[in-house]
Structure 1
């Protein structure tokens, strides 16, 4: 007999588990929902001093009520914020819990409050700086629940029926701020408990994306996900699968309880991770100069030459080695540009976490100024080329392109914040910024086998580009994957790289400057090529 203990997330109570619990029971399991103090029942009920320890005690009470039968297996499921009290309780009853399921949730660490997992970055900053933010004061302060049209701030509502969203809003309760601000304390006992991650792809998470992060190496927490006791499942839905697909969720939970699921490959296995495999083209060796975090690949030329600045994606763990500027794909592109007569530039920027986009953007801007100040560079002929998660940094350059920026390129980019990245309220939204691009040429390389959550952002960008008449050339790689330059060394891939490079070099090589906003009467905008 498997006993599932279900812990809900922010603003929600036991009611969200109704359909999933019924299906688990019908399958012969037990299903116990945890009523978290102050959150359960219609609109909840403020209880003085409610904090994370209060909710950990709520979960412990349910674990202890299940009993100690030898043939009963306890699977503890934490959704969203619910993983914090679930882990806290499991750390104190590690011998009783057989598996922990992270249901579209983060990986809480000892000493870190649940506030760190709140998806809205601006809200995190306000609450961290002003603990009294919200209704009430001190120990009784609360965060008001979302209105009907605000749930998307907390996670994608994809797949949730209208009636279910109405009910979710009607029963939502204020979240006691103490539950978010109090650090989680773990002894380490919980590390002995097998775990399963259930990723909701509609909310911006996927197994492929986690495997890519693991491949970067460095972060011990990510490397721990390759333990054979850790498994993964995906659900093609938004952040509330118990409302959008309760039957499918119940099936996944039963499989997780049986120890099934996908296992990740360790970063140090014999097969090289994608970002360290050889570049698909033979490119010439050229002189390289290192200036702080910026590398220049220099062409054989006497006069100042145009430059192409290649901006890596991420987030990349801060202790990952080698750093991106030594990755074969990026050095391959830079040498290709230098061999074609332009200065190729690769830099390391500090996009180590989703909250780092501001400083990463500043790093890129500083690197561009360093390049433009170099006497071997024609400061009026610069191209910027962004990859993967670095695509969000295109925002500033699209919204107000400087006159010297001749071309902006993006390869398998993220062009709108993913729902669970917490960036929807920030400026980093290229699909919106493209309206300001004017006559700036954009060369976008799109792979046909892209991760669906990233592909959706590319399509959003292209639709916006078409609406505003932006000048976008799309280079398609129909059978290409993310990082196709190292994982798909095919003729199709090689031709795509050649075509994108030719387009960028053609734009950056022109000596005449197209007019831009602020330079006088604008040129007729280009046409988005779909």
Structure 2
């Protein structure tokens, strides 16, 4: 007998699992949708002392009830207990699994993060209004009242509503409960025992998560993610938003049953497999000769064969890239390739290792880029009045500062497969980093945008929004399309089409800098 204990997102209770639980029971499993303390549904009322530890105890109580009077070895009337944590719910789920690892067959992260010891749930809450509400709250708040749930128009700040019927959204709003502040601010405490329990990640692709991105993160070499290649760790994708129990309950129930059976995609064969390079370390799509390269702190300069000050292009990588990732982006084949290519065409090309290690680091990364630009412009081999900035992937958000108030020496902004607005599950990215808004004050500054035809839908939507804003304000945007290219096509899709796109985009940038085009 498989027993599912279902723990839901903030502001919600066991009622949200109604359709999923019914389908699980029809399949022969047992289902326990849990309403945590203070979260409505006739459960215990929240007091000022209600915090994450309270909710961990709630989950433990159900785990122990499932096993009845079974002993410490986990013997009892249940052969397999699967804990499912949705969003916030993964925090009390992991807390409980850490204390009863012998009783848990699997932990399922349903569109949820991977919090570690000491992490408060607030760190993974995407709604900026909640961060503003609790930014002065201590770890164990006594005086902070509960956090009010969002109104019907505010749920999108918690994640994509893709696929949620209007009546389900109305019910979500009507039944939502205030969230006790301490459940979001008290740190999760883990001994490491939960890490030994098999786990499954169910990724909701319309909310900005998919297996390819997880594989990319593992490929960066972050030691914190090495556990994801364990064969006991599996993954599934659901083509829906953050609320699959409301949008695709039948498909979610089927996926939970498959997860409990140990099915799912395993990363060991595609991420970190012996002899197989991760996508960002595969060869650049052009075979280029080496060129002089100098290292100045976080900045590498690729130098042309030319006398006198030359125009410069500053390349800005995406991310987040874990702090411990090696090699760092300026040594990735793609950026080395761009550096050699642009230097071979007569420009000084700078690559910058900025510190976008997490979604809260955009301001720090922006400072790193500004410092790199100052360093480049001060170099006597650079014509400081002819500089372009070229942003890649998530680095596209960092273009906002330069679009909002472009200096006279900035001749062009380029962006390749860029993310041009935060996707729903990214957390509280500062409003400052909104390129579509910044574009309205960019004036005549040229923008060269390279668009991947096989882009992830959530990223493609940010590009479409940017282009719509450009049309409204009459901005100068040139689009270079790679119809069959994927995100990071320079190393994923080394085709003639991809090479032509790089040549065309580079030619446009160089033309705006006053250099001959290839």
| TM, length-normalised to structure 1 | 0.92
Q: Determine the C-alpha separation between the residues in 1 that align with 2:355 and 2:427.
A: 18
Aligned with residue 83 of structure 2, among 54, 76, 80: 76
Q: Determine the C-alpha separation between the residues in 2 that align with 1:208 and 1:452.
A: 13
Matches within 5 A, 1:216-231: 216-217=220-221, 219-231=222-234
SS of 2:173 mapped into structure 1: helix
Q: Determine the C-alpha separation between the residues in 2 that align with 1:338 and 1:97.
A: 57
Whether the aligned pair in 1 keeps the contact of 2:359 and 2:429 (CA below 8 Å) is no
Whether the aligned pair in 2 keeps the contact of 1:45 and 1:173 (CA below 8 Å) is no
The match for 2:235 is 232
The match for 2:472 is 467
The match for 1:327 is 332
The match for 2:17 is 17
Q: Determine the C-alpha separation between the residues in 1 that align with 2:452 and 2:109.
A: 30
SS of 1:474 mapped into structure 2: strand
- The answer to whether 1:183 aligns with 2:187 is yes
SS of 1:284 mapped into structure 2: coil
Q: Determine the C-alpha separation between the residues in 1 that align with 2:390 and 2:396.
A: 9
The match for 1:360 is 365
The match for 1:163 is 167
Whether the aligned pair in 1 keeps the contact of 2:35 and 2:43 (CA below 8 Å) is no
Q: Determine the C-alpha separation between the residues in 2 that align with 1:247 and 1:229.
A: 25
- The answer to whether 1:55 aligns with 2:58 is no
The match for 2:122 is 115
Q: Determine the C-alpha separation between the residues in 2 that align with 1:55 and 1:126.
A: 21
Runs of 4+ residues deviating >4 angstroms: 68-71
Matches within 5 A, 1:28-427: 28-41=28-41, 45-67=45-67, 68-69=75-76, 72-121=79-128, 123-124=130-131, 127-131=134-138, 138=142, 141-217=145-221, 219-264=222-267, 265-267=270-272, 269-423=274-428, 426-427=431-432
SS of 1:364 mapped into structure 2: helix
Shift of 1:316: 0.3
The match for 1:516 is none
Q: Give CA-to-partner distance per residue, 1:35-59, whole Å, 9 cap, x none.
A: 2000122798433411111111111
Aligned residues: 507
Q: Identify the range of structure 1 (462-471 vs 61-70) with the bigger mean alpha-carbon deviation.
A: 61-70
Whether the aligned pair in 1 keeps the contact of 2:81 and 2:103 (CA below 8 Å) is yes
The match for 1:450 is 455
SS of 1:82 mapped into structure 2: helix
The match for 1:520 is none
Cα distance change on mapping 1:168 and 1:325 into 2, 3 Å: same
SS of 2:452 mapped into structure 1: strand
Shift of 1:142: 1.2
SS of 2:479 mapped into structure 1: strand
Q: Determine the C-alpha separation between the residues in 1 that align with 2:38 and 2:19.
A: 22
Q: Determine the C-alpha separation between the residues in 2 that align with 1:173 and 1:120.
A: 16
Whether the aligned pair in 1 keeps the contact of 2:66 and 2:78 (CA below 8 Å) is no
Q: Determine the C-alpha separation between the residues in 1 that align with 2:500 and 2:144.
A: 62
Cα distance change on mapping 1:211 and 1:510 into 2, 3 Å: same
Whether the aligned pair in 1 keeps the contact of 2:147 and 2:179 (CA below 8 Å) is yes
Structure 1 unpaired stretches of 5+: 512-530
Cα distance change on mapping 1:44 and 1:151 into 2, 3 Å: farther
Q: Give CA-to-partner distance per residue, 1:153-172, whole Å, 9 cap, x none.
A: 11112211111111111111
The match for 1:441 is 446
Q: Identify the range of structure 1 (75-84 vs 268-277) with the bigger mean alpha-carbon deviation.
A: 268-277
Cα distance change on mapping 1:280 and 1:200 into 2, 3 Å: same
Q: Determine the C-alpha separation between the residues in 2 that align with 1:89 and 1:46.
A: 19
Q: Determine the C-alpha separation between the residues in 2 that align with 1:251 and 1:268.
A: 29
Structure 2 unpaired stretches of 5+: 68-74
The match for 1:492 is 497
Q: Give CA-to-partner distance per residue, 1:295-349, whole Å, 9 cap, x none.
A: 1111122221100111111000101111111111101111111111111111100
Q: Determine the C-alpha separation between the residues in 2 that align with 1:59 and 1:240.
A: 21
Q: Identify the range of structure 1 (43-52 vs 254-263) with the bigger mean alpha-carbon deviation.
A: 43-52
Q: Determine the C-alpha separation between the residues in 1 that align with 2:205 and 2:43.
A: 29
Whether the aligned pair in 1 keeps the contact of 2:48 and 2:145 (CA below 8 Å) is no
Q: Determine the C-alpha separation between the residues in 2 that align with 1:129 and 1:403.
A: 40
| TM, length-normalised to structure 2 | 0.94
Whether the aligned pair in 1 keeps the contact of 2:3 and 2:29 (CA below 8 Å) is yes
Shift of 1:62: 0.9
